[in-house]
């Protein structure tokens, strides 16, 4: 007969943290949330990539596009651009993230002096950029003859057919730098001359790049933002186990920093084949996550294959119906603790620490702390990020309330058969996700700091100043159904609903 695992399959809502002593120094301002992203030997140093914030966005059409990647990287997390799209479109999204924040930014909004005001307006609507370099031939690397900013024209005062040369700021009135200047020197010029941008020209006067004041200011406002060696925002991308031989090199050429295999079940030979291909072609250090798994056997399988980090969770997402459809999965809390034990045994045996990503099961912000206490190094969130302006979906009015669309990768809408295929020939015979709405919550930057404040406050109550201390010191208790009721507002009349106000 089948093996029976007698341990209950438990969720985060079945646990509470028991407070430890909070010392005078254990205050939120002193809490550090940095966490490793990829495998490393603790005896030899830190992880090659460290997240400033233990949050990453899910590999989903309704969550992770280029806007989400930019916003989350600036908050110290990482976004994985969804892979259920053509390779060139995914690479284009990755490229937009890499171009958004850089010390020296190549122009992608150039025009020529004979173009019209209407062309400026259309370009601004298309790109969102208010600074337009004007080059002799209208190309991004032509000889610079002027610049147009929003201060150079008023649409209501000028004929749309007015040539750009008639209202642009000409080159002789522009402060610029020469190719070879350092970023620090460029920023000094910007500040000394009270500029918003500094064009960088080569010896022939051709435009090389631009340096923007807003990039300097943005970094000062976001000191923990995730940057690569060239000061560009970092971005991840999802891949599948079918077209990886084409997709992986294209994503790396586009500048992708981290790859992750997107699959509902990572305990498979197809995932092993994908990891082995990447390791054979690109070496042992290319950041490559794998998963998902729910037990020690699954973890060890992917660890031996060479995964840089491993995702935990099957069927726990708010839009996932894998357990309902296939009877496969495990309560997220139980799965995470089981895999964390296997991870710790692996480190004892090999000296290599492999970070865990908890994927699914997060309903409330305090669930995030529970997941981190149970052994997760960082969390992959879908519903949480889908609520924000930066997710790729529409904001719509539903029953008098603004909501955002949110659908699973296993839904008919996503048609992401690659994520769920088990060698059956590339088609979806049934759904493993639903199409839904989530309450609209505004900008990511207005919400993530509040969530992080809650995490830090809870860690202080546990006597922990960093995530290592949290996992070592945390004490958990299983709660009864009655105590769950007791934990919320109860036995009172709610003003809004019960009193009719």
Query: Catalytic residue positions?
Result: 320, 419
Contact predicate 76/57, CB 8 Å: no
The residue count of the chain comes to 501
Q: Which residues contact 47 (CB under 8 A, 6 or more apart)?
A: 36, 37, 38, 39, 40, 353, 355
Helix or strand run (H / E) with residue 229: none
CA–CA gap between residue 61 and residue 418 (Å, rounded): 14
Strands (E), 383-465: 395-398, 401-407, 435-439
DSSP assigned state of 143:
B
Burial label, 20 (beta-carbon count in 10 A; 0-12, 13-18, 19+): middle
Number of Cα atoms under 13 Å in the Cβ half of residue 6: 0
HEC sequence for 380-399: EECHHHHCECCCCCCEEEEC
Burial label, 184 (beta-carbon count in 10 A; 0-12, 13-18, 19+): exposed
DSSP assigned state of 320:
B
Note if the bond before 452 is cis, omega within 30 degrees. Answer: no
In the chain, the largest separation of any two C-alpha atoms, in whole Å, equals 85
CA–CA gap between residue 384 and residue 382 (Å, rounded): 5
Residue 439 CA to chain centroid, in angstroms? 20
Kind of pairing between the strands at 177-178 and 197-201: parallel
Contact predicate 90/237, CB 8 Å: yes
Helix or strand run (H / E) with residue 369: helix 365-373
DSSP string, 253-289: HHT--EEEE--S---SHHHHHHHHHHHHHH-TTS-EE
Q: Is 224 helix (H, G, I), strand (E, B) or coil?
A: coil
């Amino acid at each position: 007969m089948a093996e029976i695992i007698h341990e209950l399959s438990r969720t985060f809502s079945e646990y509470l943290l028991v407070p430890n002593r909070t010392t005078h120094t254990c205050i939120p301002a002193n809490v550090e949330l940095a966490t490793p992203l990829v495998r490393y030997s603790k005896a030899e140093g830190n992880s090659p990539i460290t997240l400033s914030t233990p949050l990453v966005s899910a590999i989903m059409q309704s969550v992770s596009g280029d806007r989400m990647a930019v916003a989350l990287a600036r908050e110290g997390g990482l976004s994985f651009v969804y892979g259920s799209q053509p390779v060139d479109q995914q690479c284009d999204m990755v490229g937009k993230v890499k171009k958004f924040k850089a010390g020296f930014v190549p122009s992608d909004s150039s025009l020529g002096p004979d173009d019209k005001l209407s062309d400026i307006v259309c370009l601004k609507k298309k790109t969102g950029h208010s600074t337009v370099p004007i080059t002799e031939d209208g190309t991004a690397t032509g000889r610079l003859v002027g610049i147009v900013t929003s201060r150079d024209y008023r649409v209501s005062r000028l004929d749309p057919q007015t040539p750009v040369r008639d209202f642009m700021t000409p080159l002789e009135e522009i402060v610029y730098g020469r190719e070879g200047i350092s970023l620090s020197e460029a920023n000094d010029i910007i500040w000394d001359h009270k500029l918003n941008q500094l064009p960088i020209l080569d010896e022939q006067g051709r435009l090389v790049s631009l340096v923007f004041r807003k990039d300097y200011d943005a970094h000062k406002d976001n000191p923990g933002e995730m940057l690569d060696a060239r000061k560009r925002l970092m971005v991840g991308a999802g891949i599948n186990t079918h077209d990886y031989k084409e997709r992986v090199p294209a994503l790396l050429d586009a500048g992708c920093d981290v790859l992750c295999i997107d699959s509902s079940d990572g305990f498979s030979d197809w995932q092993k084949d994908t990891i082995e291909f990447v390791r054979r072609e690109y070496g042992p250090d290319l950041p490559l996550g794998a998963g998902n798994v729910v037990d020690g056997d699954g973890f060890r399988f992917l660890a031996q294959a060479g995964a840089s980090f491993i995702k935990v969770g099957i069927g726990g997402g708010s839009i996932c119906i894998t357990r309902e459809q296939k009877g496969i999965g495990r309560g997220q809390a139980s799965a995470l603790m089981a895999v964390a034990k296997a991870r710790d045994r692996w480190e004892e045996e090999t000296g290599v620490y492999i970070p865990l990503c908890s994927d699914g099961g997060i309903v409330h912000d305090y669930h995030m702390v529970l997941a981190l206490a149970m052994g997760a190094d960082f969390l992959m969130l879908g519903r949480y990020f889908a609520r924000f302006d930066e997710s790729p979906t529409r904001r719509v009015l539903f029953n008098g309330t603004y909501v955002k669309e949110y659908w699973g990768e296993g839904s008919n809408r996503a048609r992401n058969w690659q994520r769920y295929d088990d060698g059956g020939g590339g088609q979806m015979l049934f759904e493993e996700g639903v199409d839904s709405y989530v309450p609209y919550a505004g900008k990511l930057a207005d919400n993530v700091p509040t969530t992080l404040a809650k995490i830090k406050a809870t860690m202080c109550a546990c006597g922990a100043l960093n995530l290592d201390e949290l996992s070592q010191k945390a004490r958990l208790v299983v709660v009864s159904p009655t105590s769950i009721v007791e934990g919320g507002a109860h036995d009172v009349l709610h003003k809004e609903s019960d009193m009719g106000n």
